[in-house]
Structure 1
Amino acid sequence: MALGVPILIKLVPLLLLYIIIIVAVVVRRRASRRKAVGFFHPYTNDGGGGERVLWCAVKAVQEESPDLDCVIYTGDHDASPQSLAARSINRFGVKLIHPPKVVHLHKRKWVEETTYPRFTMIGQSLGSVLLAWEALCIFTPLYYCDTSGYAFTYPVARMFGCKVICYTHYPTISLDMLSRVQARSSMYNNDALISRSVFFSQLKIVYYKLFSWMYGIVGSCAHLAMVNSSWTLTHIQLLWGIPDRIKRVYPPCDTSGLQVLPLERSTEPIKIISVAQFRPEKAHLLQLEAFALAIKNLDANMPRPKLQFVGSCRNEADEKRLQHLKDRASELKLDSDVEFHKNVNYSELVSLLGGATVGIHSMIDEHFGISVVEYMASGAIPIAHNSAGPKMDIVLSEDGKQTGFLAENVEEYADAILTIIGMPVSERLEMAAAARKRASQFSEQRFYQDFKAAVGPIIRNTST
C-alpha cells in the first residue's frame, strides 16, 4: 500500500497535463467552429435505410439553409465529395444540391463490432467517443448531427460547443431486449450460453440496466432528437427523459418513384422479394425456411413461386452470412427457386420490386421498416414481422381494407405466402392498391417537410 502512494503522486502531474491538453483543445476548437452541419456517419457505404436518411437529411439542410456547409464524417477512406454525391443519386435516387465536404476518420475500428466479441454495446459506445473526438478535432461545426445512433458522442459534441441533433433509427438498448434476457430467450443478441445460465443471465441483466442508465444520460444531451417510428418514440422517451425535445419524423421512402410501377405484373412465376442487408437480425434463414415449407405445401395446381434475396454486405461477416444462406438453399434443393442479388444499384432495385408480387420481411422489433413501405409502394403485398414499426405504423388497414400480412414464425410466413399465391387476381390487386395508398404517408417529401420543421427552429435560433 505504501509503495502505491508515491506512484499515485507521480501520476497526478501527468493526469493534470492530460486534462490541461484536453481543455486547451476544446477551448481552441470551440473558438474556431465553422458555419456547418457535421453529419456523423462513419459507414457511408452500408447501403441501408440509414444511409438514405443521411442523404435526404443533407439535401434538406442544403434546401433549408444554403449558407451552411454540410460535412460528412466518414471512415470510408475512398469517399470523396464527388463519389458521395454520385452514390447518393445512383444508390438512392437522391440528388444533392451540391457535393458535401468530407472529413476522413482513421479510428473507425473502435466502433466495429468485431473489435468487441463481448460487451459489444459498451465497447462500441465508448469507442464512438474516441471517434467523435477525432472528428471534432479535425473539423468543429456549429451543428453536430448524428445519423447512425452513436448517443455516447453527444456529450463530446456539447463539450466542443456544438448544437446536437440526432436522427435515431432505434435505441441502442430497449426494454424489449431487457425482457428477453430476463425470459432467457436465445437470439442473435443473446446467445445460448447466456440464455441457458441463470447466473450469466443475471449478470447480463445488471449490465443492461447499467448501460440503460448511461444511455439515458448521454441521450439527454441532444438538443433535438428525431425518431423514425412510434415504437422508437416510446422507447427513447422512456430512456432519455426529454419528451419536449423528441420529434417523430418518418424516414424517407421512395414512394413516388415506386408508385409509378404498374400494379398488374407477370405472375409466371410469382416472385417474392426480400430487401435487407445481410445482417443477423434480418432473419433471412427464417424466410428461406418459410419459403421451403410453402413450396412443400403448395397445391399441385398452384404456380411455383420464386424467392429473390436483395441486399448489401458491409463486411466479411455479412459475406459469410450470405454464403451460408446460399448453402442452405442448396441443402433444401431450392437452387432453381431462389435468387441472390448483392449490392444492386437503385435502378436494379426498382426493376426487381416492379416484378415482385410479394415482399417479405422478418426482423423482430424492426424500428420502422423502410423495405416494407417500398414493397407496398411498388405494388408488392407485404408479409412483415408482427412487431414494432410494421405492426404499429405501416401494415395497417387503409379505408377499411387489408394492406398486407403480419407473421412471427415459419408456419405463419408460409401460410401467408400460400394465401397470397392462392388469391384471385382481382383480390390481390385490390390489396396491393390499398397497400400503395397506405405507403404514400411515408414519402420523401413528407420526410423533407417534417425534418425541416424539426431542425428549423434550432438552426434559426442559433447565433454564430
Structure 2
Amino acid sequence: MMSVSFFVYSLLISLLVSYVFLLAAVRFTGELVGSYLQRSSRTRRELLLDRVATEQRIYEAEVEENGRKEADDWEEIDSSVLGSAANGGKADQDWKGVVGFFHPFCNAGGGGERVLWAAIRATQKRWPEAICVVYTGDHDVDKTTILNRVKDRFNIHLHPPTVHFLYLTTRQSVLSSSWPRFTLLGQSLGSLRVAYDAFTLLVPDVLVDTMGYAFALGLCRLFFPSMPTGAYVHYPTISTDMLDSLNPGGQGLNAGLGEGWRGMAKRYYWRLFAWLYCVVGSTIDVVMTNSSWTQAHIRSLWGPWRKTNKSDIDVVFPPVAVEELVSKVDVSEDSERKRGPYIVYIAQFRPEKNHQMILEAFASLTASNSKYPAYLGETPKLVLIGSVRDSDDATRVYKYRLLARELRIEDSVDFVCDASWTQILGWMRRASIGTNAMWNEHFGIGVVEYQAAGLISVVNESGGPKLDIVVDVDGKPTGFHASTTEEYAEAFKRALSLSPEEALAMRYRARKSAQRFTDRGFAEKWVKNMDRLIQLQTKATLEAGAGAKGSLCNDW
C-alpha cells in the first residue's frame, strides 16, 4: 500500500515539475521571440518616426499657406482631470510613444469601427505627440481613402500625420470561411498568426485590441511581458448565453443544436474554448466593455482569473453622434408633419442582424391593411441601410431582395447599401421608426442614433438595446421591445398608431435618453483608461532603465 502511495505521490510531483519546466520553457521561448521581433522592427520604427515628422511639416506648411484650420471643432479634453503618472505627477501630455490598434477590418464602416476612430481621435487630442498605428488587412485602400471615409461615414476628423496604417497579409486567417469546422477555436488561433504578422511589421509601446481578439493580446503578453495591453470588448467571444442557446428552444444561430452526441461534443468543445478564453483574458491589463450586458459576461468569465490589480472591467459606452444628430435632425411639431410611416433598420448585412425577421414582420404589418391617420393614409415603407463588406454580404443582400419579392413587399422595401452620412441623416429626418432585430446585441449604436434623431425604437428584447438603451425615461417608455415576428409586427403597428402628440412626447423622451451616449462621454472614459496603459508603459520603461544602470554598476 505504501509503495503504491509513494508511486502516485512521485508521479504527481513529476507531473508538477514537468509542468513548471514546460511553462518556464514556453515563457523563455516567447521572450526570446519577442526580443528578436523588437530588434528586427527597429528600422521600421525609425522610418515611421521620420515619416511622421515629414508629414507634420507638410501639414503645417499647408495650413500656413492656405490659412485653414482643422475641420474638427471637437472640444479638447482637459488634461488636468486625468490620472497621475508613475512618478506621482500628472500624466505626460507629450508622451511620444506608439500605440498599436489591432483592428484587421478597420474599413468595414460599422459601429465597431466608429469606436476605433473615436478612440484614435481622443488619443490624438490627449497625447498629440503619440503615434497611432492601425494594423489592418484592407490592402485595397490607402491612408487618404480610409481617412476620407471616416469623415464621410462618421464625421470624425483625425490628424493625418500621427495616424498610420500597417497592412497585414494574413487577415484571411480570422475569417469564418477559413474555418468551416471548429470556427471559434480556428479564428482565435488564426488571430495568433495575424498578431505575429503585426509584430513583424512593428512592435508598439502599447497594444490595444478594439475588435475582440483576446488571443492576440495573450500572444503579446507572451512575447513582450512588460508591454501594457488593453481591450475594448464589444461582445464576449463565448458566453453562458451561447451555451444555453444549445438547449431546445434556445435562440441565436446555434439554437437547439445541443442534442445527441454531436451536441454533447459541441458543449464540451465550447467549454474547453471558454477555459482558454478565460486564460488569455486574465493577461490583459485594462479591459473596457461597451455595455452592462457585455460587462456582466466578461466579469463572469475573466474576473475570477484576473489578478487584484487587474480587477477593473469598466463600461465605456460606444461613441454615438448624439450631438450632431440633435443639431441636424429636428424634433418638433413642424418636423412631425414631415415624417412618414417609414421604418429604418441601420445595420451591416450580417446573418446575426436577422434582416429576415424584419422583412417578415413588415410583410405581416402590410398584410393587415391597417390605416394610420397620423400619416394621412400613406402606406408604410421599410428602409434597410447597411454597409456591404464583401461578396458574402452582397450575396446576402441579393437573397433579401428575393425574399422581399416572395413576400410581395418589394415595392415597399428600399435597400440602401454603403450609405453616406448625409443619406443616413436624410432618412433619420423622414422616418418614424428605427428597428433592430439582433438577439443579444452587445450594445446597439444604431439604436442610440435612432433615439438621438427622435425615432421610436422597436428593438429585440435582449442585450444592450433592452438593458442600456431603450429604457423608460421619467417613468414612460422610449420605444418597444419584441422577440418574435408577430411581436415585431404588432410593435410596428402600435408605434405607427400613436397620435401625433403621443409620438412627439415619446420622441422627446428618446432624445433625452440618448444624451447618455455622447462622443465626449466616450472620449473622457477612453482617455482615463488609456492613461492607465501609458502609466504602465512609463513605469516599465523607468524600471528597464534602472535595471540597465544597475547591471552596468554591478559589472563595474
* TM-score calculated relative to the size of structure 1: 0.92
1:247-326 equivalences under 5 Å are: 247-260=314-327, 261-263=329-331, 264-266=335-337, 269-300=340-371, 303=377, 304-326=379-401
| Structure with the higher fraction of residues in helix conformation | 2
Equivalent residue, structure 2, for 1:136: 199
Instruction: Give the stretch that moved more between structures: 68-77 or 238-247.
Output: 238-247
Match 2:441 to one of 349, 362, 366: 366
**Aligned-partner residue type, residue 420 of structure 1:** A
Correspondence for 2:218: 155
Whole-Å Cα distance in 2 between the matches of residues 373 and 20 of structure 1? 47
Distance of 2:437 and 2:470 partners within structure 1: 13
Which residue of the partner structure matches residue 6 of structure 1?
A: none
**C-alpha contact 1:184 1:201 (8 A) present in aligned 2:** no
Partner-residue secondary structure (3-state), 2:474? coil
Give the AA of the match of 2:191. Answer: S
Across the aligned residues of Structure 1 and Structure 2, the Cα RMSD in angstroms comes to: 2.1
State yes or no: 1:422 paired with 2:505: no
The answer (yes or no) to whether the contact 2:339–2:430 under 8 Å persists in 1 is no
- TM normalised by structure 2 equals 0.77
The match for 2:232 is 167
* CA displacement at 1:268 relative to structure 2: 6.7
CA deviations 1:203-252 (Å, max 9, x no partner) are 11101100100000011111101100000000001111237231110000
Amino acid across the alignment from 1:270: P
The one-letter amino acid paired with 1:36 is V
Alignment partner of 1:398 is 2:465: no
For residues 297-317 of structure 1, the C-alpha deviation after alignment (integer angstroms, 9 at most, x for no partner) is 232465321000000122222
SS in 1 for 2:246: helix
SS in 2 for 1:72: strand
Larger Rg over CA atoms: 2
Distance 2:463 2:29 in 1: 46
1:115 aligned to 2:115? no
Please tell me whether residue 458 in structure 1 is matched to residue 533 in structure 2: yes
Q: Report if aligned partners of 1:143, 1:164 keep a CA contact under 8 Å in 2.
A: yes
Indicate yes or no: 2:46 matched with 1:28. Answer: no
- Could you tell me which amino acid in structure 1 is paired with residue 236 of structure 2? P
**Which letter maps to 2:180?**
P
Cα shift at 1:30: 4.0
Give the number of equivalent residue pairs: 445
The residue type paired with residue 150 of structure 1 is Y
- Shifted more, 298-307 versus 278-287: the winner is 298-307
Classify the secondary structure of the residue corresponding to 1:206: helix
What is the alpha-carbon distance in structure 1 between the residues aligned to residue 372 and residue 295 of structure 2?
46
Unaligned runs of 5+ in 1: 1-17
1:180 equivalenced with 2:255 (yes/no):
no
Partner of residue 68 from structure 1, selected from 127, 130, 143: 130
Matched residue, 2:168: 105
Unaligned runs of 5+ in 2: 1-25, 46-96, 542-556
Deviations along 1:35-71, whole A, 9 cap, x unmatched? 2000011011211100000000111111111221000
Q: Is the 8 A contact 2:372 2:497 kept in 1?
A: no
Return the offset for 1:181: 1.1
CA distance in 2, matches of 1:184, 1:123: 27
Contact 1:55–1:94 (CA under 8 A) maintained in structure 2: yes
Quickly say closer, same or farther: Cα 1:433–1:301, change in 2 above 3 A.
Answer: closer
What is the percentage of aligned positions where both structures have the same residue? Answer: 38
* Aligned match of 1:96: 158
The residue type equivalent to 2:324 in the other structure is G
Task: Return 453-462 or 356-365, whichever deviates more.
Answer: 453-462
Whole-angstrom CA distance in 1 between matches of 2:372 and 2:124: 55
1:284 aligned partner, one-letter code:
H
Residues 66-85 of structure 1 show CA distances to partners (whole Å, capped at 9, x for unaligned) of 22100010001133332222
